[in-house]
Amino acid sequence: MTDPGPAAEPARSYHGQPVIKEPVWTWEIPCYFFTGGLAGASAGLAYLSERRGNEVLARRAWAAALVGATASPILLISDLGRPARFLNMLRMFKVTSPMSVGSWILAAQGASTGLVALHAWSGRLARPAALARPAAALLGLPLSTYTAALVANTAVPVWHESRGLLPFVFGAGAALSAGAAAVAVTPPRHAAPARRLALLGAACELGAKELMERRLGELGEPYRQGPASTLGHVARACIAAGAAVLATRGASSRAAAVAGGVLLGTGALSARWSVFKAGFGSASDPRYVVGAQRERIAAGQTPGAARTAPRVASPRSELGSPATAS
Amino acid sequence: MKLETIAWPGSYGDQAKPRMGFFTDTSVCIGCKACEVACKEWNQIPMSVQGFTGHSYDNTIDLGANSWRHVAFIEQRKPVDADGDGSLSQVAARASLAEDQGLATYQEGDGIRWLMASDVCKHCTEAACLEVCPTGALFRTEYGTVVVQEDVCNGCGYCVPACPFGVLDQRQDDGRVWKCTLCYDRLKDEKEPACAQACPTNSIQYGELGELREGAEHRLAQLQHAGQREARLYLADDDDGVGGASAFFLLLDEPEVYGLPPDPVDSRRELGSIWAATAAAALALGAGLVAAALGGRR
Ligand code: SF4
Ligand code: SF4
């Protein structure tokens, strides 16, 4: 018999089957990435505008924060396999689980934002509300970026291998979302800080996401294929167009501000969705999962999990096969 | 050899039991699927109709909410006696291995070799699923195994993409995740897991992890000694990416051929840097907000 050689070797995968599981998360999760960032960065914008005496902008940004903070838990609970058990999320606090840490941040930030709103409408609870303002603004910062930690802390290559940049992409997206929302609902002459925030967020979002995709190299392929690629194109187009409209006409025309805000918001949401979808493409193809691991082994960074050299010098003589052992 | 995990045996004190596990010696697996059937029966797992795949004899496809044991079938054109070099005595030793010592994965005659392997949850020493579970539904038992508490799981789905082996999945119309419990209920009654009891060739061996590892080293030495150079132990060491596992394997080809990751890593090992990047990004966002709100006109 002849050795058929390596050409006859089957592809190094099990019938092309995935090695890891795709996430089971549905549309609510990318929407939550967006609303969580909106809530977080809007609270910061609202608080700072208030401190600067821009009440018109502050009120609207608080409203945007409230919308985000209300929509977020609804989206998350509806995504659960057992929505009635949502309170189990607060059963413990685990730093090893970004989802656990994030649930607490979201709960605290949402409660603070709620207090601020309650005070604004009823005039009640002035003292707690005074504390709740900076609390909501501060908690809003990790609320905007922890979702990146959540997806990076998985076995999905396209998320895990971009763990250093993904939080910056999400942070920029949050700034973009909050700026866009505020710009769209605020009279232009009061909206200068929101415009600056939206434009800054747009530039950082585009730059950071591009850099992340490039750094991933071959592992970044899911961003260049299928739904993640389409969503990426939509995001870039909307963000670029929205930024251009806002930068040129946003300060003078209310209609332009609304259009720019809507475009930027759509872009931010599409960008979150593109990251979400890339994870599915990455998990479902064994090439990415095995490829990255084989590279580590080939580079001598790790021996891998398999070993051919036995730790005993010679086999026990009495040891037959397990089939014949008693 | 260190068998400790973060929670076992420490948090159990004198309630801790020896760490129990599976050694799956795929070199004697005959692909009968008795393990799959026994597991389904004992654990009352719902039917999983997957249809006809055309992937050799495998219509189970993968591990998941309704498949806690999965027998993989691989057909290779790679006959036993043409396998690499070796002295005449080694070739003879391999032939005798195949004949009287139960190296059952080789089919003679047409030059096709079959690899068969019964896969299962690895009950990792560093278990990503358990670490990311926000509700604490996943926990470490007194036997050092990893089990989902079905009355706690709220189906958040985080463990599903966190497991580097793709073991866990959500059950449709139930919403929660399910996986091998290493027959936690049977262990408490001092019975061996259903799959190990059903396995007719002892390909699935159940026992104390330390003893299983020792036996596995001898089996590996025996196969290597006979010139079966492709034989390897998988997840039998403390220094791999998941700190070793309670369920480990003897394989006859690279792990990925069986659908197993060659270098699985518990993502928690990078969590420090992930949190650091997250905090830095939060601060950068804060700086951006301050710059936008305070810079320029108001
Ligand atoms: S194999 Fe996956 S499901 Fe099993 S213990 Fe390890 S991480 Fe958890
Ligand atoms: S799906 Fe259930 S077991 Fe898995 S991480 Fe969520 S709560 Fe824990």
B10-77+112-264: CATH class: alpha beta
Band of the pLDDT at B107, cuts 50, 70, 90? low
Query: Is the Cα dihedral B273, A96, B20, B200 positive or negative?
Result: negative
Are the C-beta atoms of A322 and B26 separated by less than 8 Å? no
Q: DSSP 3-state assignment of A256?
A: helix
Instruction: Look at residue A4 and tell me if it is in a domain.
Output: no
Are the C-beta atoms of B234 and B257 separated by less than 8 Å? no
Band of the pLDDT at A8, cuts 50, 70, 90? very low
Instruction: Look at residue A116 and tell me if it is in a domain.
Output: yes
**Distance (Å) from the alpha carbon of B194 to chain A's nearest alpha carbon:** 18
Nearest CA to ligand 2 atom 7: B153
Tokens for A29, please give them.
């999760």
Count contacts between A and B (CB, < 8 Å): 366
pLDDT digits (tens, 9 = 90+) for B20-34: 999 999 999 999 999
What are the distances in angstroms from CA A219 to CA A207, A229, B19, B216, B262?
Answer: 19, 14, 37, 36, 17
Atom index in ligand 2 nearest the CA of residue B158 equals 5
Chain A positions in Cβ-Cβ contact with residue B170 (cut-off 8 Å): 24, 81
Q: Is the pLDDT of residue A10 over 70?
A: no
- Model confidence, pTM: 0.92
Ligand lying nearest the CA atom of residue B132: 2
B256 contacts A290? CB cut-off 8 A: yes
pLDDT at A11: 44
Residue B55, strand partner residues: B58
What are the distances in angstroms from CA A98 to CA A103, A174, B86?
Answer: 8, 18, 52
Which has the higher per-residue pLDDT, B108 or A236?
A: A236
The residue-averaged pLDDT of A134-149 equals 98
Describe the strand order of the beta sheet including B204-208 as a list of residue ranges.
A306-307, B232-234, B247-251, B20-25, B204-208
Nearest CA to ligand 2 atom 5: B133
Instruction: Look at residue A320 and tell me if it is in a domain.
Output: no
Are the C-beta atoms of A260 and A243 separated by less than 8 Å? yes
Q: In terms of Cα–Cα distance, which of A110, A109, A172 is closest to A145?
A: A172
SS (H, E, C) chain B: CCCCCCCCCHHHHHHCCCCEEEEEEHHHCCCCCHHHHHHHHHHCCCCCCCCCCCECCECCCCCECCECEEEEEEEECCCHHHCCCCCHHHHHHHHHHHHHCCCCCECCCCCCEEEEEEEECCCECCCHHHHHCCCCCEEECCCCCEEECCCCCCCCCCHHHHCCCCCCEECCCCCCEECCCCCHHHHHCCCCCHHHHHCCCCCEEEEEHHHHHHHHHHHHHHHHHCCCCCCEEECCCCCCCCCCECEEEEECCCHHHHCCCCCCCCHHHHHHHHHHHHHHHHHHHHHHHHHHHHCCCC
Chain B positions in Cβ-Cβ contact with residue A285 (cut-off 8 Å): none
Mutating to test ligand 1, I would choose from B122, B125, B266 the residue with most ligand atoms within 8 A of its C-beta, which is B122
Q: Which of A62-66, B258-262, B263-267, B294-298 has the lowest mean pLDDT?
A: B294-298
B174 lines ligand 2 (CB under 6 A): no
pLDDT at B104: 47
Structural domain containing residue A31? 23-298
Total tally of structural domains belonging to chain A: 1
B120 lines ligand 1 (CB under 6 A): no
Q: Is the pLDDT of residue A158 over 50?
A: yes
B148 lines ligand 2 (CB under 6 A): yes
Are the C-beta atoms of B265 and B122 separated by less than 8 Å? no
A290 contacts B261? CB cut-off 8 A: yes
Distance of CA A96 to the CA centre of its chain: 18
Q: Which residues lie below 8 Å from residue B273, measured CB to CB, with a gap of 6+?
A: A163, A164
Amino acid letter, residue B46: P
Cis amide linkage into residue B9, ω under 30° from 0: yes
Q: In terms of Cα–Cα distance, which of A110, A125, A127, A212 is closest to A171?
A: A212
Amino acid letter, residue B284: A
Residue B156 near chain A (CB below 8 Å): yes
Distance of CA B258 to the CA centre of its chain: 11
Are the C-beta atoms of B37 and B60 separated by less than 8 Å? no
Strands B113-120 and B69-76: antiparallel
Chain B positions in Cβ-Cβ contact with residue A164 (cut-off 8 Å): 273, 277
Q: DSSP 3-state assignment of A307?
A: strand
Domain boundary assignment for chain B: 10-77+112-264, 266-298
Amino acid letter, residue B193: P
Would you tell me which residues 233-272 of chain B have a C-beta closer than 8 angstroms to some C-beta of chain A? 233-237, 239-242, 251, 254-265, 267-268, 270-271
The complex's ipTM works out to: 0.93
Which DSSP symbol is given to A186?
Answer: S
The residue-averaged pLDDT of A115-136 equals 96
For residue A315, give the nearest of B202, B205, B225 by CB distance.
Answer: B225
The residue-averaged pLDDT of A13-32 equals 97
For chain A, the straight-line distance linking the first and the last C-alpha, in angstroms and rounded, comes to 37
Chain mean pLDDT for chain A? 93
Are the C-beta atoms of B171 and B66 separated by less than 8 Å? yes
Residue B21, strand partner residues: B207
pLDDT at B198: 98
Q: In terms of Cα–Cα distance, which of A35, A147, A144, A136 is closest to A99?
A: A147
A81 contacts B156? CB cut-off 8 A: yes
Chain B positions in Cβ-Cβ contact with residue A41 (cut-off 8 Å): 285, 289
Chain B positions in Cβ-Cβ contact with residue A40 (cut-off 8 Å): 285
Q: How far apart are CA A238 and CA A147, in angstroms?
A: 23
Q: How far apart are CA A209 and CA A272, in angstroms?
A: 10
Q: Spell out the alpha helix ranges (H) of A123-191.
A: 126-152, 157-160, 166-185
**Distance (Å) from the alpha carbon of A13 to chain B's nearest alpha carbon:** 5
Q: Give the CATH number for residue A213.
A: 1.20.1630.10
B273 contacts A175? CB cut-off 8 A: no
Q: DSSP 3-state assignment of A1?
A: coil
Atom index in ligand 2 nearest the CA of residue B157 equals 1
Residue B10 near chain A (CB below 8 Å): no
Chain A positions in Cβ-Cβ contact with residue B279 (cut-off 8 Å): 142, 145
Q: What percent of chain A shows pLDDT beyond 90?
A: 92
For residue A297, give the nearest of B131, B233, B262 by CB distance.
Answer: B262
pLDDT digits (tens, 9 = 90+) for B119-155: 999 999 999 999 999 999 999 999 999 999 999 999 9
The residue-averaged pLDDT of A82-91 equals 96
Q: Is the pLDDT of residue B171 over 70?
A: yes
Q: How far apart are CA A322 and CA B25, in angstroms?
A: 8
Q: For residue A53, with 0-12 CB atoms within 10 Å meaning exposed, 13-18 middle and 19 or more buried, which class applies?
A: exposed
